[in-house]
Amino acid sequence: MAERPFAAARARSPIPDATVARLPLYHRVLLGLADQGMATVSSDALAASAGVSPAKLRKDLSFLGSYGTRGVGYDVAHLLGQIGGELGISLEWPVVVVGVGHLGHALANYGGFATRGFRLAGLVDADSALVGSVVAGVTVQPLAELADIVRAENIAIGVIATPADAAQGVAELLIDAGVQSILNFAPVVLAVPDDVEVRKVDLASELQILAFHEQRKLSSPLMAPAVGDAL
């Protein structure tokens, strides 16, 4: 790897996944600094605001290019533009949310949607009692319409907020309609082709990871008594 076959037109070297996962964070923090009127920022200051180490931040940014000025720091507006460009924020990505339960409602009403380059282009639910209602300014449509919506709106990203047992079927509908990126909130492992990217968010898993660490604290020899255990 990293052999750079023939350096085709667009072949900037690939950005590591770990770095990509932090770009939205940097972008958000920079937005805040820009709001405060800060014109330049050092890697130390930016790293502190983002909660990462300065070395990690500099390494991450170095994969995008050399956008800093030695002895000075980074130009906030310019760096915002560069990271925004990588993230495709200049475009407006149409997104469809499938499942309009409590979570679907929350997602549809999520404020950061529009400001971060996304547009709620469709809202779909299998429950006919919900179909036709308007949520966050969008009319809920039946599941049967999903494929048409995806094609009509040129949707590239689908969000699954259904119960677990409906998620795989919805994923297949999305993929058949051409969606290649899925954000899955249902607690199931989706089976998808290799060219489809799935990211998952699982509340229960996050809580259980926290509980694991809490439990370690309880059973460690250094502390335990005071706590007294729930249940």
Q: Which residues bind DNA (CB under 7 A)?
A: 1, 16-19, 41-44, 52-56, 58-59, 61-62, 66-74
Among the listed residues 86, 145, 166, 169, the single contact to its own copies using CB under 8 A: 86
> Choosing among DNA, its own copies, none, which partner's interface includes residue 223 (Cβ < 5 to 8 Å by kind)?
none
Q: In terms of CB distance, is 128 or 208 closer to DNA?
A: 208
CA distance 143 to 148: 10
| Residue 70: CB minimum distance to its own copies, A | 26
Q: Counting beta carbons within 10 angstroms of the beta carbon of residue 116, is it exposed (0 to 12), middle (13 to 18) or buried (19 or more)?
A: middle
Choices 53-61, 91-99, 125-133, 142-150; region in contact with its own copies by CB under 8 A: 91-99
Q: In terms of CB distance, is 1 or 226 closer to DNA?
A: 1
Q: Verify binding: residue 220, its own copies, rule CB under 8 A.
A: yes
Q: Residue 6 gets which letter from DSSP?
A: S
Residues 165-194 that bind its own copies (CB under 8 A): 180-183, 187, 189, 191
Q: Verify binding: residue 231, its own copies, rule CB under 8 A.
A: yes
Choices 19-27, 56-64, 124-132, 143-151; region in contact with its own copies by CB under 8 A: 19-27
Q: Which amino acid is at 28?
A: R
Q: Verify binding: residue 65, its own copies, rule CB under 8 A.
A: no
Per-position x/- string for 24-53, each x denoting binding to its own copies as judged by CB under 8 A, each - no binding = xx-xxx-------------------xxx--
Q: In terms of CB distance, is 73 or 104 closer to DNA?
A: 73
Q: In terms of CB distance, is 42 or 49 closer to its own copies?
A: 49
Segments in the chain forming alpha helices (H): 17-35, 43-50, 54-64, 76-87, 102-108, 112-115, 146-153, 164-176, 203-219
The count of C-alpha atoms lying within 13 angstroms of the C-alpha of 152, restricted to the half-sphere facing its C-beta, is: 8
Query: Which residues are 135's β-sheet partners?
Result: 138
User: Would you give the distance in Å from CA 122 to the centre of its chain?
Assistant: 18
> Choosing among its own copies, DNA, none, which partner's interface includes residue 58 (Cβ < 5 to 8 Å by kind)?
DNA
Q: Would you tell me how many other CB atoms lie within 10 Å of the CB of residue 133?
A: 12
CA distance 158 to 17: 21
Q: Would you tell me how many other CB atoms lie within 10 Å of the CB of residue 125?
A: 23
